[in-house]
Chains A and B, each alone.
Chain A
Amino acid sequence: MIGLVDANNFYVSCQRSFDPRLNGKAVVVLSNNDGCVVARSNEAKALGIKMGVPFFQLEELRQQHDLTVFSSNYTLYGDMSARLIALLGRFVEEVEVYSIDEAFLNLSGYEQLYPNLTELAQTIRSTSNQWLRIPVSVGLAPTKTLAKVANWYAKREPGHNGVFMLDTKAAIDDALQTFDVADLWGIGWRYAGMLKRNGIRTAAQFAALPDDWINAKLTVNGLRLAYELRGTPCKLLELEHQPKQTICTAPSFGKLIPDLATITEALTTHVGRAAEKLRKQESAAGALSIFLHTNRFRKTPGNGLPAKQYADSRTVILPHATSSTPELVRYAQAALQAIYAFGYEYQKVGVILSGLVPAGHQQQALFSDAPDQRLASLSKVVDKINHRHGRDKVRLADAGYNPEWHHKRQWISPNYTTRWREILSVR
């Protein structure tokens, strides 16, 4: 059996974990830069607030209702997520971290230890509730896809008390009869539309389709999905953390920026962040892309006409793979100067590092410089200092001192678990 543990309204639950006043209230969490809604409490869902709604559209609701708004605090959510995963590891050996708020558990072989899996799931729920004050739902089924379906029911039907098991053929058939094919794991809106045009509305109808038809219309991935729904596991737990193939850092500016100097500061900081991630996973980048663009939706203030637009990007193939911040910054700044055009209000500059190779495996070229090992060591030392004394304590002067381009986080909550000055206060 496979278990899927999914935290309910995770970001909202993290905020509530340290501020119980928010319990029973409408709460939303906004995306980076306070752009749009990325998490809603059940009460906020009941107010009709949809996922992805731009924040400015909530202004009226905020005046009429008791609606609490938070900027996303990924430091807090990341820490709570790590605690949740560690907690799950106490019960089961094999845990696949699927996303920040979801994990698969491999429960096969635990029959002796946990004869009643529903009871185990309830214990996981109450432990998370006591240790983290985060409510979770658990779906139990023979395959990952069915565990997703079971979790859907566990979360939405209060009678199940947060745990739902699909263990018999009858229970699985029953659940798939009423399960919308569009909600299936891996069925995007295109496939959902195509299936509905062909009269397939439920997961049960999908699972009953002939293999040839599925293979022709939805490729082998669709076929795997059908097998999983029929109870044959095709997706195994991915326990090894895969190093990323590309690393991208590109948060929007907090306000529109026209001048090259400020954009250069922002880019230098982004490259620094990306290089730090690169070194953390022990990789080096073989190529670097820079992109720069204006806000597509912006209207010129005054006349309301669409503002003039500009977007460009530039990719630099590096002479040797490197993870050194100063080296990457040098290429990034040159690329930025090549694509920057005067006279626009820019919204975003970003960097993508690609062609990643393990840091140790660098090919020596005959006619180009070998990477300077001293630079790589220097960056590692800087990482250590910053890890101990706080982010950006040591950084390139080009990153500037006055980060006016930083993104907006107007309603950020304290970092209850990661900063001494912001920990919970008791009387």
Chain B
Amino acid sequence: MTALRRQERLSVYDFARATVETQLRIPFFQSLVQAGFPSPAENYVERVCDLNDLCISNAEATYFVRVASDSMIGDRIDRDDVLVVDCSREPVDGKIVVVWLNGDHVVKRIHYAGELIVLMSSNPKYDPIYVHPGDDFRVFGVVTFVIQKPV
């Protein structure tokens, strides 16, 4: 009986020993283990919610970028917001994408009209951009999340 109790105690210590390297967050138990009565919650331990799981599906291909203009304000993307950009996603018609165009990285909504690529802002102050053959253009990635601090 004593031996069994010691084992139960040890398992609680093991839970608390989360290492920093893996960034695996593990809930820490506040409840003290009473002799003979292990915490009733012990069998229900789960990993705490990690924002990375929600926002990042493909870590190798994901980059964060910061918004430096109000051109996408209609899509509630504002200056200083951080975008989660996944470069493994296909930039299909209607997606918000980050592209390299003639010397700048820009965030726009992409549309395909036949051969033509149109980059739309969602702020009436900005005109649509038509990508011409010969432009220095390439898609960086697709915006999958917007991280914003409410004002």
Cβ of A383 under 8 Å from chain B: yes
Looking across the interface, which residue of chain A has its beta carbon closest to that of B136? A20
Give the residue of A20, A388, A423, A427 whose beta carbon is less than 8 angstroms from that of B71.
A427
B105 and A425 form a contact (CB under 8 A): yes
- Identify B20's interface contact among A90, A387, A420, A423, CB under 8 A: A387
Q: How many residues of A contact B (CB 8 A)?
A: 24
A424 and B63 within 8 A (CB): yes
Contact with B along A391-427 (1 / 0, CB 8 A): 0000000000000000000000000110010011111
**B103 on the interface (CB 8 Å rule)?**
yes
A20 to B135, CA, bound (A): 13
Closest Cβ of chain A to B140, distance in Å, is 8
Name the CB-closest residue of B to A20: B100
Contact flags A126-155 to B (C-beta < 8 A → 1, else 0)? 010011110000000000000000000000
Chain B residues within an 8 Å CB radius of A90: 60
Min CB distance, B56 to chain A, in Å?
13
User: Are A424 and B65 touching (Cβ within 8 A)?
Assistant: yes
How far, in angstroms, from A420 to B67 measured CA to CA in the complex?
12
Chain B nearest CB: distance from A142 CB in Å? 29
Q: B105 near A424 (CB under 8 angstroms)?
A: yes
Residues in A whose Cβ lies below 8 Å from that of B136: 20
User: What distance in Å separates the Cβ of A280 from its nearest Cβ neighbour in chain B?
Assistant: 8
Pair A425/B66 contact, Cβ less than 8 Å? yes
Q: Find chain B residues with CB under 8 A from A133 CB.
A: 87
Option from B63, B69, B88 in Cβ contact (under 8 Å) with A427: B69
Query: Is A100 part of the contact surface with B, judged by Cβ < 8 Å?
Result: no
Inter-subunit contact B20/A425 (CB<8 Å): no
Decide: A425 near B65, CB < 8 A? Known: A86-B59, A86-B60, A387-B20: yes
A384 proximity list for chain B (CB < 8 A): 20
Q: Which residues of A contact B104 (CB under 8 A)?
A: 426-427
Q: Which of B31-89 contact A (CB under 8 A)?
A: 58-61, 63-69, 71, 82-83, 87-88
Nearest A residue to B77, CB-CB:
A426
Chain A residue with Cβ nearest B67: A426
Q: Is the CB of A423 within 8 A of B60?
A: no
Quick check: is B107 within 8 A (CB to CB) of the other chain? yes
The prevalent SS among residues of A at the interface is helix
Cβ-defined contact, A130 with B88, below 8 A: yes
Report whether B20 and A131 are in contact in the complex, using a CB–CB cutoff of 8 Å.
no
A426–B68 contact, CB under 8 A?
yes
Q: Which chain A residues lie closer than 8 Å to B61 at the CB level?
A: 83, 87, 130-132
- In the assembled complex, the Cα of A405 lies from the Cα of B64 at a distance in Å of 33
Q: Closest residue of chain A to B65, judged by CB?
A: A424
Say if the beta carbon of A197 comes within 8 Å of chain B: no
Using A425-B105, A426-B105, A427-B71 as known contacts, say yes or no to A131 and B65 having CB atoms under 8 A apart: no
List residues of chain B with CB within 8 A of the CB of A127: 88
Name which residue of chain B comes closest to A84, CB basis.
B60
User: Which B residues touch A420, using CB under 8 A?
Assistant: 64, 82
> Does B131 touch A at the CB level, under 8 Å?
no
Q: Closest approach, in angstroms, between the C-beta of B89 and any C-beta of chain A?
A: 10
- Give Cα A127–Cα B60 distance, bound, in whole angstroms: 11
- Taking a contact as CB atoms under 8 Å apart, the answer to whether A424 and B66 are in contact is yes
Q: Is the CB of A426 within 8 A of B106?
A: yes
- A426–B59 Cα distance when bound, in Å, is 20
Report how far A90 CA is from B67 CA in the complex, Å: 31
- Tell me which residues across on chain B come within 8 A of A374, comparing CB atoms: none
Q: In the bound complex, do residue B66 and residue A426 qualify as a contact, i.e. CB atoms below 8 Å apart?
A: yes
> CA A276 – CA B2 in complex, angstroms?
40
A387: chain B residues at CB < 8 Å are 20-21
- Whether B9 is near chain A, meaning CB under 8 Å from some CB there, is no
In the complex, the answer to whether A427 meets B20 with C-beta atoms within 8 Å is: no
Indicate whether B98 reaches chain A with its CB closer than 8 angstroms.
Answer: yes
Using a CB–CB cutoff of 8 Å, the interface residues on chain B facing chain A are 20-21, 58-61, 63-69, 71, 82-83, 87-88, 98, 100, 103-107, 136, 138
New contact pairs (11) apart from A90-B60, A423-B82, CB-CB < 8 Å: A87-B61, A131-B58, A132-B87, A133-B87, A420-B82, A423-B63, A423-B65, A424-B64, A425-B66, A426-B83, A426-B105
Residue pairs across A and B with Cβ atoms less than 8 A apart, 10 shown, are: A20-B100, A86-B59, A90-B60, A130-B87, A424-B105, A425-B68, A426-B67, A426-B83, A426-B104, A427-B107
Which 8 interchain pairs have the tightest Cβ spacing? A131-B61, A427-B69, A424-B65, A83-B60, A426-B105, A86-B60, A425-B68, A426-B107
